[in-house]
A and B are shown apart, each in its own frame.
Chain A
Amino acid sequence: MANLYLTHHCNRGCPFCFARKVLAQRRDSDEILTVEDITKLLDHYHDGFQAIGLLGGEPFLYPHLAEVIKLLHDRHIICKIFTSATNPMPKGIEEFPASVEYMNFIVNVGERKTYRDDQYRNLEHFFEKFHEISALSFTIFDLNADPTFLFDMIDKYQLNRTIRTGIALPIYQGGNQYIQPDDYKKAGEYFIKCVDQAAERQIIMNMDCGFQACMFNDEQRGHLLRQGSQMEFVCGSAIDIGPGLQTWNCFPLFQLGYVNAMDADNEEDLTKLLQAQVAKELGNEFGTRPECKDCEFMLHNKCQGGCRSFKSIK
């Protein structure tokens, strides 16, 4: 799936954010991905995207969000918005129907203590309006955090009953806080604990990228399957398209350079260009641990050994 990186502005400042370095470098820049560039992109690709993610920074701080949503809707492209929903809803959004035909939201949330009162009020107001088309995402960062707030939020606002769970990953060459490789097994145990608590309330926790198969043993993986979790240990290779149609292969690998989205004619070719860009620095091999080389999961393409951004971390 291609993501449109709309703005550098964000009001949250999460320590684990893998866009943190980009945001820090360009925080004061008003540079945005313009509607004209988005239109140019869609025309060039003959609307050949099944779905597009809108992200930032914080998409709610992007001044033309409603216009972009309508543009995508008119071209029959499914639009998924990644937001913290802690800002007032941008003009025009509230008038849209709460329908997946228009948009759906992935709302990254943290514990209550991580919000100012006004931010939390905005979040609650947002859920009241768009609960039917909102799912939560949660990043594993603090291995002692109590996940109950997630399930309470889902029940209180009748949100989608699946949670997209990420694991805090490093930015290539550093710049954020992340789960250390030595803590991955512990993180796996923490995830299972969360999954079990979620299952008690008929909520499913799925994996976002960066998980490693060896975080779990056979019994744990079987348990996750039984609880309905979709296990994902292979990198989906995101395409992030930013201002000026600069395009890179996901935020953790942003430092490895970019291409211009107009240099390809379709999503598949653009992915190949980006993979070649990454391969210049990292080669074609996946795996982040020495043992990945001979790992059967790697050989059978069931796991890619976690996020390649680890390769730059000593």
Chain B
Amino acid sequence: MPNLMLTNYCNYRCSYCFGKDIMFPKSPRQTMTRDCFDGIVEWVKKGPSDRIFHLMGGEPTLNPDIDWMVARLLEEDMLTTIFSNLATPHAVELAKKIANLPIDWVVNVNNPAHWNDAQRKNITAALEILRERVSLTFNVMPDEDDSMWALEYTQRYHLNNNIKVGFLLPTYNQTNEALADNQYSIVAAKVTRLAQEAAKVDVHLDYECGIPTCAFTDEQLGILWHCGSTLQSGCQSRLDITPDGNVIYCLPLATLGMKHYTEFDSYNDSCIWFAQRFGPYRMLGRRIECATCNLNNAMACNAGCLAKNLIDCKNVKL
């Protein structure tokens, strides 16, 4: 099932955002309309599907129709997850409105040390309402001491005990802040320490896509397994759909090409179309060793983010 971008506007301007290339202000501001949303839902229903919808942005709660859209998905018996930063009053209002509905929230946060007062007020108010419906997700920064605040917040607000961590990944055009090659192992060590501390309070880590196994030493991989936070390095890309109905492979690769959903018979067809175009590149890996790596061959590791691996390929065409 696709990730629907309900708007390309966000109340944050994170330097690392890998959606930057198609977000406001780099692109004109867009908001998904009810008609477009409805059309996409009907289109997705045409094919076999896993009945899961992700609503994201930009900041999806800034779409004034989001509560109507959530209701529409529930009507269709779809499992719905909202990806929000919870830092706006709109998010708090929505949380109040739909607190009792079976909706999961994946909340992308930065280190609370960087929140301003208004952000803090909104985020904590929404966490207080949503509690176990919320899973935190954040990027582990190479230059910050630790990420133990995530454990503190998870416990304080009784959030879901799975936290999703990510690495700073580049867009294909390298327009955002991303890890340098030599920072991967630094972040891997931080993730391992976090997993060890998390296990002590029965919290476990999940992983965003684009994390290569090679960033970790054998011992670190073993510790992650030991802590119940076994590394997952595969990329199971769900297609993203922009507010105006264009399908993209994923945000870091958005500028490589998009096609309107109405050009495909079904969501499945669009998956096949993109898989055929990106599949051959996926096999490349990042390093020469990837060619003979069992994990890469078994697609259990995609050698990190495809956008990073394609940066040096200047003639990629869909």
Question: Which of B102-110, B166-174, B211-219 lines the interface with chain A?
Answer: B211-219
* Residue A235 is within 8 A (CB to CB) of chain B in the complex: no
A287 to B220, CA, bound (A): 26
Q: Which residue of B222, B294, B300 contacts A199 across the interface (Cβ within 8 Å)?
A: B294
* Residue B231 is within 8 A (CB to CB) of chain A in the complex: yes
A217 to B220, CA, bound (A): 11
Asked if residues A222 and B218 are in contact (CB atoms below 8 Å), the reply is yes
* Residue B12 is within 8 A (CB to CB) of chain A in the complex: no
* Residue A231 is within 8 A (CB to CB) of chain B in the complex: yes
Q: A217-B222, A228-B300, A231-B225 are in contact. Are A222 and B217 (CB under 8 A)?
A: yes
B208-262, CB < 8 A from A: 213, 216-226, 228, 230-231
Q: Which residue of A217, A225, A228, A231 contacts B231 across the interface (Cβ within 8 Å)?
A: A225
* Residue B292 is within 8 A (CB to CB) of chain A in the complex: yes
Asked if residues B222 and A222 are in contact (CB atoms below 8 Å), the reply is yes
Asked if residues A223 and B218 are in contact (CB atoms below 8 Å), the reply is yes
Q: Which residue of A202, A225, A302 contacts B292 across the interface (Cβ within 8 Å)?
A: A202
Asked if residues A221 and B226 are in contact (CB atoms below 8 Å), the reply is yes
* Residue B78 is within 8 A (CB to CB) of chain A in the complex: no
Asked if residues B222 and A228 are in contact (CB atoms below 8 Å), the reply is no
When distances are taken between beta carbons in the complex, the residues of chain A under 8 Å from B226 are 218, 221
Asked if residues A222 and B300 are in contact (CB atoms below 8 Å), the reply is no
* Residue A54 is within 8 A (CB to CB) of chain B in the complex: no
When distances are taken between beta carbons in the complex, the residues of chain B under 8 Å from A222 are 216-225
Asked if residues B218 and A226 are in contact (CB atoms below 8 Å), the reply is yes
Q: How far is the CB of B297 from chain A (nearest CB, A)?
A: 6
* Residue A6 is within 8 A (CB to CB) of chain B in the complex: no
A220 to B219, CA, bound (A): 7
Closest to B297 in A: A202
When distances are taken between beta carbons in the complex, the residues of chain B under 8 Å from A199 are 294
Closest to A195 in B: B294
A247 to B230, CA, bound (A): 36
Size range of the chain B interface in the assembly:
20 to 34
Q: How many A-B residue pairs have CB under 8 A?
A: 58
* Residue B73 is within 8 A (CB to CB) of chain A in the complex: no
A172 to B216, CA, bound (A): 41
Closest to B226 in A: A218
Q: A227-B294, A228-B298, A228-B300 are in contact. Are A219 and B219 (CB under 8 A)?
A: yes
Closest to B202 in A: A300
A255-314, CB < 8 A from B: 300, 302
A220 to B223, CA, bound (A): 10
When distances are taken between beta carbons in the complex, the residues of chain B under 8 Å from A216 are 222
* Residue A204 is within 8 A (CB to CB) of chain B in the complex: yes
Q: Scoring A residues 153 to 197 as 1 if CB is less than 8 Å from chain B, else 0, what string do you get?
A: 000000000000000000000000000000000000000000000
Q: How far is the CB of A294 from chain B (nearest CB, A)?
A: 16
Asked if residues A226 and B213 are in contact (CB atoms below 8 Å), the reply is yes
Closest to A302 in B: B228
A223 to B297, CA, bound (A): 17
Q: Scoring B residues 274 to 308 as 1 if CB is less than 8 Å from chain A, else 0, what string do you get?
A: 00000000000000000011110110100000000
Q: How far is the CB of B190 from chain A (nearest CB, A)?
A: 17
Q: How far is the CB of B69 from chain A (nearest CB, A)?
A: 37
Closest to A231 in B: B225
When distances are taken between beta carbons in the complex, the residues of chain B under 8 Å from A204 are 294, 298
Asked if residues A218 and B223 are in contact (CB atoms below 8 Å), the reply is yes
A231 to B220, CA, bound (A): 16
Q: Which residue of A203, A218, A228, A302 contacts B295 across the interface (Cβ within 8 Å)?
A: A228
When distances are taken between beta carbons in the complex, the residues of chain A under 8 Å from B292 are 202
Asked if residues B221 and A225 are in contact (CB atoms below 8 Å), the reply is yes
When distances are taken between beta carbons in the complex, the residues of chain B under 8 Å from A231 are 225
Q: How far is the CB of A204 from chain B (nearest CB, A)?
A: 5
A225 to B295, CA, bound (A): 9
A306 to B285, CA, bound (A): 37
Closest to A227 in B: B294
Asked if residues B294 and A202 are in contact (CB atoms below 8 Å), the reply is yes
Asked if residues A223 and B295 are in contact (CB atoms below 8 Å), the reply is no
A221 to B228, CA, bound (A): 13
A204 to B293, CA, bound (A): 10
When distances are taken between beta carbons in the complex, the residues of chain A under 8 Å from B228 are 300, 302
A125 to B218, CA, bound (A): 41
Q: How far is the CB of B299 from chain A (nearest CB, A)?
A: 10
When distances are taken between beta carbons in the complex, the residues of chain B under 8 Å from A217 are 222
A264 to B225, CA, bound (A): 37
A204 to B217, CA, bound (A): 19
Q: How far is the CB of B196 from chain A (nearest CB, A)?
A: 11
Q: Which residue of A220, A228, A302 contacts B294 across the interface (Cβ within 8 Å)?
A: A228
- Best-buried of B221, B230, B300 by chain A (most CB within 10 Å): B221
Q: Which residue of A218, A227, A228 contacts B219 across the interface (Cβ within 8 Å)?
A: A218
Pairs across A and B, CB under 8 Å, 24 listed:
A204-B294, A204-B298, A217-B222, A218-B225, A219-B218, A220-B218, A220-B222, A221-B221, A221-B222, A221-B226, A222-B216, A222-B218, A222-B219, A222-B223, A222-B224, A223-B218, A225-B213, A225-B221, A225-B231, A226-B213, A228-B295, A228-B300, A300-B228, A302-B228
3 nearest interchain CB pairs? A222-B222, A222-B221, A228-B294
Besides the contacts A219-B219, A222-B218, A222-B221, what 18 more A-B pairs have beta carbons closer than 8 Å? Answer: A202-B294, A202-B297, A203-B294, A204-B294, A204-B298, A216-B222, A217-B222, A218-B219, A218-B225, A219-B222, A220-B218, A220-B222, A221-B221, A222-B217, A225-B222, A225-B225, A226-B221, A302-B228
